[in-house]
Chain A
């Protein structure tokens, strides 16, 4: 039992190092690509790569088993956010059919110190998070799509990520092999 808990509170690093490294990466992308839409895409793709690897770490540390429904999944995503980013988003706005929900964050650690200049209002700064969610869900055979409904960097009060379950992937070619 004690092993379980020590696994859960894994090693931590200062969030500023994380935030600033992320910021430097975004800056570098903007310098290299200089087209906001492509930067958004690239961030999402990087997030996807992270998600694909992160899920392994999450399953090992949290010891969580299969999800029985999408509500279960939403709670796991909430737990993962707390484990990895140290913030606890709230889950709300379920769609009546139960296949779509919102993750609402009051503060988003990766946007500390960040201000979007007017010239880059189209930049989805935290787009990597969406990729992480998509990538990790895909590895447990859930195809989801995510988008931002609200973004604190654009003047909203909270950051709200909408997650929608598209379909359950059946066993076939391993994802990412195409």
Chain B
């Protein structure tokens, strides 16, 4: 069994044998937009309602996010993880956004009434550039895909959170951290 499968793929070099790319490669925005449109259309064939569609897009975002965490920490942060709440948020707002979308997110805000909630605000989300939302699905924001990416990054850095995307000042990503995160951060502050 093993022998035959080795025979089928001679001398496969593993991805770990190659050096890490610099991540400067570029493809055209049209190519990405069309691919993203296929992703949305595919998800739509699998669901009946807008919330289900959002959930599906969110899941795909999670998949992407979980794969870039290590990559970006190795490449941009010299393998050092962030341990403070504010730093990880800034890391997402600047490093992650710059790498993925070529610019920083516009704003990072803390909710006045809830210390566990933060917002990342982006006027023109790249993934929404060519999306026109049908009137009967006005609550749909395809940037929920990006929210999935952010959620995966936070969660895999051990800042469990729920991230959702809303139409507000463009697109607002609402980040709601788990109780444990804020209390841990306070402890760190006190030390």
Contact = CB atoms under 8 A, between A and B. Distances in A.
Interface of A: 10-18, 20-25, 27-29, 32, 46, 49-50, 53-54, 57, 83-86, 109, 112-115, 118, 121, 154-155
A21 B35 contact: yes
Given A24-B64, A28-B63, A14 B31 contact: no
B5 A13 contact: no
B27 interface: yes
B21 A13 contact: no
Nearest to A82: B28
By secondary structure, the A interface counts as helix
A18 to B, nearest CB: 5
A155 to B, nearest CB: 4
B126 interface: yes
Contacts of A14: 23, 25-26, 99-102
Contacts of A49: 38, 41
A21 B21 CA distance: 17
Given A20-B67, A24-B63, A85 B21 contact: no
A155 B21 contact: no
Contacts of A154: 8-9
B34 A155 contact: no
Contacts of A18: 27, 31-32, 35
A54 B68 CA distance: 28
Given A20-B68, A121-B8, A13 B15 contact: no
A18 B31 CA distance: 8
A25 B56 CA distance: 11
Contacts of B29: 10-13
Contacts of A10: 28-30
B14 A20 contact: no
A13 B26 contact: yes
Given A15-B27, A27-B63, A85-B27, A54 B34 contact: yes
B21 A25 contact: no
B35 A28 contact: no
A15 B59 CA distance: 20
Contacts of A121: 5, 8-9
A118 B39 contact: no
A125 B161 CA distance: 33
Contact of B12 (A46, A112, A155): A155
Contact of B42 (A46, A57, A85): A46
24 contacts: A11-B29, A13-B32, A13-B101, A16-B23, A18-B31, A20-B67, A21-B32, A21-B35, A21-B64, A23-B64, A23-B67, A24-B39, A24-B60, A24-B63, A25-B60, A28-B60, A50-B35, A54-B30, A84-B27, A85-B31, A112-B25, A113-B15, A113-B67, A115-B14
